[in-house]
Amino acid sequence: MTKPSVFSTRPLFPAARAILEQHFEAEYWTAPERIPRTELLRRVADKDALVCLLTEKVDEELLAAAPKLRAVATVSVGYDNIDVAACTRHKVVATNTPGVLDETTADFAWTLLMAIARRLVEGDAWLRTGSWPGWELDQLLGGDIWGKTLGIIGLGRIGSRVARRAQGFQMRILYHSRHRAPLGLEAELHAEFAELDRLLHESDFVTLHVPLLPTTRHLISAEALGKMKPSTYLINTTRGPVVDEEALARALQRGTIAGAALDVYENEPRVHPDLLGLRNVILAPHIGSATIETRTKMAVLAATNVAAIFAGQRPPNALNGDALGL
């Protein structure tokens, strides 16, 4: 029996390729640069399944160009690149990779939080210029982390891991989420629910962990930034458009907040030009989940998801499983 066909927009990792190749005739995009859109549309035209990255849009145009397609797996937990409703209309199962990157991404939110509070990147750059004069009493003074108030927006899988790590720093934790967390989890995390305004007013660090949705686009607007204290730091490891980057650049220029550490941007790979010249911002190139262990797990999970669909099983992470009656 001929195997179904899959196209992957990246060569993935050997462990994920092994799963794909057991179940599919697999083709990969192997060039170092990202696959051009026209090439992607051409390569999926006769495929049964697609494994893609968050940088590739799966929309009406792509689905119309791939009439045989039955499954799409994004190698990411965020799936704002996928029009899930359009997938359902085309009877295509869409999947993501939740759960396997929570701890790693929480680690990175903390990496950014600590680095911006203690001005690590700024200090490193200074040292490399050769002009550091040696220890000084008032040099590169940052903000304390321990004992401060951490505001977590989106207490889901990653947000709750960020909260857990804060306990070692004896921090007070406020969180805001669509729904209140179960009381047991609140108690375990020592996390107190707060309306968004209160969280913005009282937090020394605000860290974002909501998905990108119409309701979260520009959640951190000029108005929201205006509610933060001049000593507050903003950490964004979720999706760029959750923050109004133009408004953030203004707030950082005027010093109405102390600093920001970002892993994600509104128009990746472009970064707002006004941010590039500022010292009170850290700009990371979207590497929140970028460890060898976690990226391998993500690719394996994406491969497992598409393989399950063709084995007649409910994939572990179907986004439209109910809508398609799986």
- Candidates 42, 68, 89, 178: give the one binding ligand NAP (CB under 6 A): 178
Short-list 162, 164, 160, CA closest to 205:
162
Kindly state the smallest distance separating residue 4's Cβ from ligand NAP, in Å.
29
Compute the distance between CA of residue 112 and CA of residue 257 in angstroms, rounded to an integer: 16
Kindly state the smallest distance separating residue 191's Cβ from ligand NAP, in Å.
12
Assess 224 for contact with ligand NAP (CB under 6 A).
Answer: no
Cβ atoms within 10 Å of 233's Cβ, excluding its own: 27
151 sits in which H/E element:
strand 149-153
Binding to ligand NAP, residues 113-152 (CB under 6 A): none
Q: Which of 27, 186, 188, 268 is catalytic?
A: 268
Clarify whether 268 is annotated catalytic: yes
Amino acid, res. 25:
E
- Candidates 17, 157, 198, 229: give the one binding ligand NAP (CB under 6 A): 157
Q: Which of 70, 239, 272, 295 is catalytic?
A: 239
Assess 240 for contact with ligand NAP (CB under 6 A).
Answer: no
- Could you tell me which stretch among 122-130, 209-217, 244-252, 268-276 binds ligand NAP (CB under 6 A)? 209-217
Clarify whether 218 is annotated catalytic: no
Assess 74 for contact with ligand NAP (CB under 6 A).
Answer: no
Strand ordering across the sheet containing 49-52: 25-28, 5-8, 49-52, 71-74, 93-95
Assess 216 for contact with ligand NAP (CB under 6 A).
Answer: yes
Tokens of 250: 């203004």
For 228-283, give the secondary structure using H, E and C.
Answer: CCCCCEEEECCCHHHECHHHHHHHHHHCCCCEEEECCCCECCECCHHHHCCCCEEE
Our CA angle for 265, 162, 74, nearest 5°, is 50
Residues with active-site annotation? 239, 268, 286
Q: Give contact residues for ligand NAP (rule: CB under 6 A).
A: 77-78, 98, 101, 105, 154-159, 176-179, 209-213, 215-216, 237-239, 263-264, 286, 288-289
